[in-house]
Copies of this chain bind each other. A is one copy, B any other.
Amino acid sequence: MFSKACEYGIKAIIYIATQSLKQERVKIGDIVENVGSPEAFTAKILGALTKHNIVKSYTGPYGGFEIERDSMKSINVADIVFAIDGESIYNGCGLGLSECNSAKPCPMHDKFVKVRSELKKMLQTTSIYDLAQGVKSGRTILIR
């Protein structure tokens, strides 16, 4: 469903958020150790997320990544997916037609639009803060 890049990005952001809740900046090494993703690739993805202002990064000693409490509450999974994969997941015809709308729909248009808008809604209403709280409480896990 998601690309690997998205999977790694979402998990990294959640992990950073859990540590930021404890006022702790995390280094890339900590992140990949705790989410089980390849280091260099994850670093590249975090670079993109930094540019999109989803996470803040600091170079040098005592540097690393962090997310402000405010951001954590306002940023949702849809923002992360958009920053990494663009809007391709949300737009475009399910069967690949160059144009497809209710006036001239592909055979699956109506049903496809319905489930996709549910997916979009789900991603938009799932905040990083909530996900981080789940991990913090021990109810959910980031690695296995």
Contacts and interface: CB of A to CB of B under 8 A. Distances in A.
A4 B141 CA distance: 33
Nearest to A120: B115
A113 to B, nearest CB: 11
* Number of chain A interface residues as a range: 35 or more
A95 B11 contact: yes
A55 interface: no
The 3 closest A-B pairs by CB, nearest first: A107-B131, A7-B96, A107-B140
Interface of A: 1-2, 4, 7-8, 10-11, 14, 77, 89, 94-100, 104-109, 111-112, 114-116, 118-119, 122, 126, 131-132, 134-135, 139-144
